[in-house]
Structure 1
């Protein structure tokens, strides 16, 4: 799914109106009616008090369309206009006149805190105050209104985007933003729904189709894509009947130090479970017995040193190399990594201490192959790109870093984002159970195993991040968040693959006899 910018949405609105020969007012009618249909389907005429707060722009116009339909369908609705400016959009004014034509209870004008209505915790608030066009600091009394929403604890539904939330910049004052229980977003989700600092402003979101031009939606290239099952399924490369392990690629996992051999174990297991034909682990001598014992499917190569890696020397030709997990940052290890990078020709997946070493020795960045994959946790990312002020600054700095060196970078989080140059791929799988030791090592192994099989670096990273999260989503059904460990994620990789081809369950068909019986019960009631 594409994540359109606000500028692209404006362009899509204009193009749709032109190509479909409709007015912007007609398009607003579609949007407001879409919100009404969503509510009506769930409420079925229930007389819960509904408070619709409308701004004086197009988002407010959407709210007025909704309110009009609620009135004409007999709902217990009260409409308010948040009079935050002298300027009103044309379509707002048109719909303001329309709602006055269907009810004697005209919208109440709010101009200050004294005008705020009483709202009970079991009421419903519809927030249609500000939309994606907000580009200024809101007035103090409007901020107080949003605090009023929050304090009354009523369920809040936002139209398109929680009011006060910008689509393309950070929030400076969280009290100046509506906290929505649900947001119905027109045509596209907003990037801010997935960023750590701004995702908290809506608990859930859903996209409503308002009939924007299909050619525009299909052909427009967006900065960000939302990655789910439908996006990764075409990436999947099926295994042929006569395939053998030599054709599935050879992954080499380099890392480990005394007490940290488990990281290499996890990454190696993940690479093989992701589909690599062969996996070799390069570890210090202390890792030989643990690796051979705990993971007999892996081949093991050892450094001459017992506790750390001091010299990276092997006689195999791997298709891809992952390096850094559990590696440590001793001087001899730093030198070994430097010499390895100077000679290496294989694709790389770089994680953990390899990133930390490179961050302290920036000249090593020039030695990394094009489209090397970097999987830093937040602190490691900061060491690479520098401190950031907010999530947008972090994304911009990561994009600049990716463009400068040609790397694929994973910004880890609840919605991990794969970055390559100017493009963002926002993942939808995963859960808080992944906040556990070793989960990053598993991700490194999955991506490595995919590259070994012939997936390109960008696709392998997008696909790998998805599988990693999906495995965890399936595993928590058995283990829960708190008890999920990294080994469980490897264990459920097969289930994550199988889920790609799982069809959604269809509701059972109702026979004529069953329907007749149900109708009789209804009539009797």
Structure 2
């Protein structure tokens, strides 16, 4: 799914109005009616007090349309205009007149804290104060209104975006923003729904189709894409009946040190489970018996050193190399890593101590083959790009590093983001159970295994992150968040592949459901 920028959304609105021969007021009516339909389907006429707070711009116009439809359908509606300025948008004024024609309870004007209404915990708040076009500081009494929303404990539904949030920067103070229980976003999700510092402002979100021009939606390129099943499914390459292990590449996993052989074991198992034809591992001697016993499918090569890697040499021709898990950062290991990079021409996936060694000596970044994949967690990323002031600055610095060295950077987190130059791919699978030791080693192995089979580095990164998260989502049903461990992710990887081809369960029609209940 494409995530449009604020500027693209404005352009889409204009094109839609022109190409469909409608006015901006008509488009507002269409969009806000979708919110009404969403609420009406869930409330079914319930007389819970609904408090609709409208700004004086187009987001407020959406709120007025919604309030009008709620009123004409018999709901218990209280409408307020948050009067933070003397200016009014054209579509706001049109819909202000329209709502006055359907009720004697005209919208109440709020001008200061003394005007705030009493709201009970069981009421519903609709936040339609500010939209994506917010371009001014929020005045103090409006900030106090947002705090008032929170203090009431009432369910808060935001229209398009929680008021006070910008689409491209992090709020300076959390009290400046509405904390929504649910946000109904027009046409596209917003990037801020997926970033650690801003995702907290809406517990859940949903996209409403408001009928934007189809050609615009299909042909407009975006810098951000949201990745789910239907985005990765076209990437999947089925196996031919007559294929053999040689068709799926030979992966080499390099890493491990005394006490950290488990990291290599996890990565190599994940690599083979992701579909690599052959997997070899290069480790210090201390890990030989461990690998041969715990993972008999792997072929094992060892360094001459007993406890750490000091010289990376091998007589195989791997398709792809994953390096860094459990490697350590000893001086002799760092030198071996540098010498390896100087002669290597094979596609790379680098994780863990491989990233730390790059961060220690950034000149090594020049040695990376084009489209090398880096898979840092936040602290490893900070070592590579430097400290950032907020999530947007983090992404800016990451994109700059990706462009400079023509590499792919997988920024691990709750919504892992794959960065390829200016392009961002936001993953939608995964859960807090994946915050466990070894989870990153498994991800590195999965991506390496996909490249081994012929997926390009970007496809392997996007697809691998999705599969890793989906496997965790399936596994958590059996283990829960606390008891999920990295090995479980490997165990359920096959089910993650199978899930790609499962159809959503068909919901029973109401009449069929009634008949089934009566049998």
* Shared fold per TM-score greater than 0.5: yes
CA distance in 2, matches of 1:177, 1:165: 6
Cα distance per residue 1:250-284 (max 9 Å; x no partner)? 11000000000000000000000000000001000
1:148-297 aligned within 5 A: 148-297=148-297
Residue equivalent to 1:113: 113
- 1:387 corresponds in structure 2 to 387
- Which residue in the other structure is 1:59 paired with? 59
- Matched with 1:370 is 370
Aligned partner of 2:360 in structure 1 is: 360
Which residue of structure 2 aligns with residue 314 of structure 1? 314
Q: TM-score, normalised by structure 1?
A: 0.98
Show the 5 A alignment for 1:412-451: 412-451=412-451
Residues in 2 aligned to 1:308 and 1:513: alpha-carbon distance in whole angstroms = 63
Give the structure-2-normalised TM-score: 0.99
- Structure 1 match to 2:499: 499
Residue 134 (structure 1) aligns with = 134
Tell me how far apart the structure 1 counterparts of residues 484 and 435 of structure 2 sit (CA, whole Å).
Answer: 9
What displacement does 1:506 show? Answer: 1.1
Relative distance call for 1:517 and 1:229 in structure 2 (3 A) is: closer
CA RMSD of aligned residues (A): 1.3
Number of residue pairs aligned between Structure 1 and Structure 2: 519
Change (3 A) 1:516 1:414: closer
Question: How many angstroms does 1:510 deviate by?
Answer: 7.6
SS of 2:296 mapped into structure 1? coil
| Whole-angstrom distance in 2 between the partners of 1:436 and 1:263 | 12
Runs of at least 5 residues in structure 1 that lack an aligned partner in the other structure: none
- Counterpart in the other structure of 1:337: 337
Q: CA deviation at 1:362?
A: 1.0
Distance 1:513 1:266 in 2: 46
Structure 2 counterpart of 1:472: 472
Question: Are 1:125 and 2:94 an aligned pair?
Answer: no
- Alpha-carbon offset, residue 508 of structure 1: 4.4
Q: Residue by residue, what CA displacement relative to the aligned partner does 1:423-477 show, whole Å, maximum 9, x if unpaired?
A: 0000000000011000000000000000000000000000000000000000000
| Deviation (angstroms), 1:507 | 2.8
Task: After superposition, give the CA deviation of every residue in 1:304-337 in whole Å (9 maximum; x if it has no partner).
Answer: 0000000000000000000000000001001100
User: C-alpha displacement at 1:136, in angstroms?
Assistant: 1.9
Query: 2:29 corresponds to which residue?
Result: 29
Alpha-carbon distance in 2 for matches of 1:509, 1:101 = 38
1:63-120 per-residue CA deviation (whole Å, 9 max, x = no partner) reads 0000000000000000000001111100000000000000000000000000000000
Q: Distance in 1 between matches of 2:134 and 2:225?
A: 23
- Which whole-Å CA distance do the structure 2 matches of 1:474 and 1:406 have between them? 34
Change in Cα spacing, 1:253 to 1:189, as seen in structure 2 (3 Å) is: same
Change (3 A) 1:67 1:171: same
**What is the Cα deviation at residue 398 of structure 1?**
0.3
Aligned equivalents of 1:271, 1:512: Cα separation in 2 = 46
Alpha-carbon distance between aligned partners in 2 of 1:512 and 1:348, rounded to the nearest angstrom: 54
**Per the alignment, do residues 512 and 384 of structure 1 end up closer, same or farther by CA in structure 2, a change over 3 Å counting?**
closer
CA 1:424–1:517: 2 relative to 1, 3 Å: closer
Measured after TM superposition, the shift of residue 511 of structure 1 is: 7.7
Shift of 1:292: 0.3
1:199-220 CA distances to partner (integer Å, 9 max, x unpaired)? 0000000000011001000000
Deviation at 1:503, TM superposition (A): 0.6
- CA separation of 1:513 and 1:44: change in aligned 2, threshold 3 A: closer
Alpha-carbon offset, residue 137 of structure 1: 1.3
Displacement of 1:512 in angstroms is 8.0
Q: In 1, Cα distance between the equivalents of 2:141 and 2:512? A: 59
TM-fit CA distance, 1:517: 9.3
Q: Deviations over 1:458-512 (max 9, x none)?
A: 0000000000000000000000000000000000000000000001111346888
Cα distance in 2 for partners of 1:277, 1:33 equals 54
Change (3 A) 1:113 1:517: closer
